Amino acid sequence: MARLIEGLDAARVRENAERIRSEIGDAELLAAVKYVPLEELGVLAEAGVTLLGENRAQDLEAKAAAQPGLTWDFIGHLQSRKVKQVLPLVRYVHSVGSESVLRQLERHGTPQTEVLVEVNVAREAGKSGIAPDELDDFLARCPVRVVGLMTMPPLADDPEQSRRWFAALAELAGDRGLPQLSMGTSQDYLVAVEEGATIVRLGTTLYG
């Protein structure tokens, strides 16, 4: 079980954030806060990190209430029964990828709702996301505005092993005129940016 990230230092986080921003150019730095306790979030704000991503609906609700001045995205697996709870709290949901979620978006989405569709680019068994050849049909049936795509490539020790999957997602998005690409985490974000990421979801490298 992963440990909570406690004792964050604002100066250190700011320094890390400045370095990362110099590396990623126009891409957005999103702080993944699944393991950051609510009481530590003020340190991120103090460090100038204002875009946060949460994986769990219940934690998102509590953290967004505590830090309403920050921008929130939902980046975890989205259960259909949590759609109503999540939508009012976030800028984007990054992980739309099931028929049941589409049905809930139809019920609870608004003209302002914007989402990213999760694509299982490597077609890993048991992994969330839409297969690439199912994407067009899924997009056609999505009842809210799709602004981009998201992926989690297969686990790999070498970031270069993720490049082909990031490139594949970028091609899918480019062919469909979708501007946002949420891809890249602490171990492979530099490769993701080289392949066109517009949002990188970072934890360890930002906090360490």
Topology classification of domain 10-207: TIM Barrel (3.20.20)
Looking at residue 1, its pLDDT comes to 55
Exposed (0-12), middle (13-18) or buried (19+): which is 148, by Cβ within 10 Å? buried
Average pLDDT over residues 45-56: 97
Residues, the chain: 208
How is residue 92 annotated by DSSP?
E
Looking at residue 3, its pLDDT comes to 84
Average pLDDT over residues 109-125: 97
Q: Is the pLDDT of residue 2 over 80?
A: no
Q: Is the pLDDT of residue 164 over 60?
A: yes
| Count of other CB atoms within 10 angstroms of residue 151 | 27
pLDDT band at 165 (very low <50, low <70, confident <90, very high): very high
Q: What residue ranges in the chain does DSSP mark as E strands?
A: 28-32, 51-54, 71-74, 92-96, 114-118, 145-150, 180-182, 199-202
Average pLDDT over residues 152-163: 95
What span, in angstroms and rounded, lies between the C-alpha atoms of 91 and 143?
Answer: 17
| Count of other CB atoms within 10 angstroms of residue 158 | 10
Beta strands 71-74; 51-54: pairing state:
parallel
Sorted by where each begins, the domain ranges of the chain are 10-207
Alpha helices in 70-111 (DSSP H): 83-86, 99-108
Q: Express as a percent the part of the chain with pLDDT over 70.
A: 99
Q: Is the pLDDT of residue 44 over 90?
A: yes
Average pLDDT, the chain: 97
Average pLDDT over residues 87-91: 98
In the structure encoding, which two tokens stand for residue 71, read together?
């921008």
Looking at residue 12, its pLDDT comes to 98
Average pLDDT over residues 101-112: 97
Q: What is the pTM of this model?
A: 0.96
DSSP code per residue over 16-43:
HHHHHHHHHTTSEEEEE-TTS-GGGHHH
Average pLDDT over residues 172-182: 98
